[in-house]
Amino acid sequence: MLSSTRFGAAFLPRRATVLLSVQFSFGNSAKVLPCSTNECDEFLPWLERKAGIEVSSVLSIGSSTHGRSLFASRCIHSGDCILKIPYSVQLRSDNILPEIQRFLGDAASSHARLALLILFEENLGQASEWEPYISCLPQMGMLHSTVFWSKDELDMVQCSPVYQETIHHKACIEKDFIAVQQVDIIFWALGHLPHYCRDVTFEKFMHAYALVESRAWGTSSKELSLIPFADFLNHDGRSEGTLLSNEDKEISEVIADRGYSAGEEVLISYGKFSNASLLLDYGFTLPYNTHDQVQIWFGMSQFEPFYEMKLELLDKHQIAAMDDANGIETVGNHFTIREVKSARGWGRGIPLSLRAFARVMTATSCQELEDLVREAAQNDGRLARRPLMNKIKEIEAHQMLLERIETLMQGYSPCILSMQLKNTCTENSQLEMRRKMAIDLLSGELRVLRSASMWLKNYCTSLSGG
């Protein structure tokens, strides 16, 4: 059974690093010859001895503009299997010491368990059987997920949903850290605190946690794994290649999706992730990401006319409504908007559930709500999945969406312009890099919002006969 899942945080459907392994691709991959070092020369033979099989005969480790990378050591053809890594040489969350597993119970996530395993092996130093791999992982200060950004840096993306998601995600990591601290306390009371737990600070834990989020893969059984050598492969959003897990053979492998010449960097896809997901989970962005999307909150006040009736109608037709996380007296949901490729197209980037929600919200009488139910029954049974027969109400619903989107757009352009005008000559390279990431993120989200705005304008104009 084959499967492939790149694990990440629970963000927009959701996760590399800079210097040691920056897992991203800016357009076409440059043809850069590998730079040979003793560390690189020794890593693959060590892994193959540990695995007991040949991992790869066509890849070598080197450096490119992306950081640590894998290159074709000879010609590769489309369809070739370019690496095989047995489960036996993968670090899994269930490899953590049994006594730690027992005390953790269900209190900590799989990410937290694997982060603890990294800290354990790291503290063993050269005594660790995984030392050649652990030593290749990015060190503190080399990751660029937004959870590591300073307040001033995070303010650069304040108009994006990434801002609040970063705060929420950091709180989730803190929750996992508290669970780890409880294990600390228990072991201290029993008089046999593991030596690697003594120095676990939140900063160290968050770093290890981010390593897991940016590098771990999952199998069909949802097992979380760090896969040495495979995680040196960098990301190309246009690639069709990915890492596959064969549960029957207990092996992970990569099949080349195209041909590569000797000396060319080999790239795979981590998934169809937006810049929001890439930035939060992996710590990089793409200059033009075709998978960009924007998650917006659309709510309904509890003082809305016919509120209970509308809520019941939405619930009955499985258009979920939840309380506003900010504590405001509204219910609604997060909807994901994707780029509408054609202003005169079908608007597929705008979710039908969002359009249905807007049609329900703009109803001002029981009769209008009953008409929604009747029209649904006459079509495919789904609520407001087709244009309303009442063109005036259809226009009103979509104009409300348009106003909401254009309000969001107003916050983007000033932020982007402000960052573009900043003088970076005297600033450190890290801030300059993160500013570029922020610009990539906001520019992509603004492009998505503009496409939705244009489609909504044209849709309303066509209905009004303009």
Q: Identify the CATH number of the domain in which residue 359 sits.
A: 3.90.1420.10
The closest of 83, 91, 90, 89 to 54, measured between CA atoms, is 83
Question: Is residue 73 domain-shared with residue 100, that is, in the same domain?
Answer: no
Question: Is residue 416 domain-shared with residue 372, that is, in the same domain?
Answer: yes
Confidence (pLDDT) at 30: 43
The answer to whether residue 288 sits within a structural domain is no
Confidence (pLDDT) at 321: 63
Question: Is residue 419 domain-shared with residue 355, that is, in the same domain?
Answer: yes
The answer to whether residue 352 sits within a structural domain is yes
**Residues of the chain with confidence (pLDDT) below 70:** 1-40, 66, 97-105, 107, 183-199, 219-222, 320-329, 343-347, 423-427, 466
> Would you tell me the crossing angle of helices 352-361 and 307-316 to the nearest 10 degrees?
160
Question: Is residue 146 domain-shared with residue 104, that is, in the same domain?
Answer: yes
Question: Is residue 355 domain-shared with residue 436, that is, in the same domain?
Answer: yes
The answer to whether residue 107 sits within a structural domain is yes
Question: Is residue 109 domain-shared with residue 175, that is, in the same domain?
Answer: yes
The answer to whether residue 278 sits within a structural domain is no
Query: Positive or negative, the Cα torsion across 94, 95, 98, 104?
Result: negative
pLDDT digits (tens, 9 = 90+) for 366-407: 999 999 889 888 888 888 778 888 999 999 999 999 999 999
Question: Is residue 331 domain-shared with residue 400, that is, in the same domain?
Answer: yes
Confidence (pLDDT) at 440: 96
Confidence (pLDDT) at 16: 35
Token pair listed for 398: 């979509």
The closest of 220, 174, 175, 169 to 11, measured between CA atoms, is 169
142: phi then psi, degrees, rounded to nearest 5: -105, 0
For residue 425, what are the contacts with CB-CB under 8 A and spacing of at least 6?
Answer: none
d(CA 244, CA 255): 8
Question: Is residue 72 domain-shared with residue 106, that is, in the same domain?
Answer: no
Burial class (CB in 10 A: 0-12, 13-18, 19+), 129: exposed
d(CA 133, CA 392): 64
Number of domains in the chain: 3
For residue 366, what are the contacts with CB-CB under 8 A and spacing of at least 6?
Answer: 306, 309
The answer to whether residue 285 sits within a structural domain is no
- What range does the domain containing 135 cover? 92-217
The answer to whether residue 382 sits within a structural domain is yes
pTM of the shown model = 0.85
d(CA 26, CA 286): 6
Looking at 291-388, which runs of residues are DSSP E strands? 293-301, 322-323, 330-338
- From first CA to last CA, the distance across the chain in angstroms is 55
**Residues constituting the chain:** 466
Question: Is residue 254 domain-shared with residue 339, that is, in the same domain?
Answer: no
Question: Is residue 311 domain-shared with residue 407, that is, in the same domain?
Answer: yes
Looking at 47-195, which runs of residues are DSSP E strands? 59-64, 67-72, 81-86, 91-92
The answer to whether residue 279 sits within a structural domain is no
Contact 207, 173 (CB under 8 A): no
For residue 391, what are the contacts with CB-CB under 8 A and spacing of at least 6?
Answer: 463, 464
d(CA 293, CA 288): 12
The answer to whether residue 284 sits within a structural domain is no
Question: Is residue 17 domain-shared with residue 119, that is, in the same domain?
Answer: no
Contact 97, 117 (CB under 8 A): no
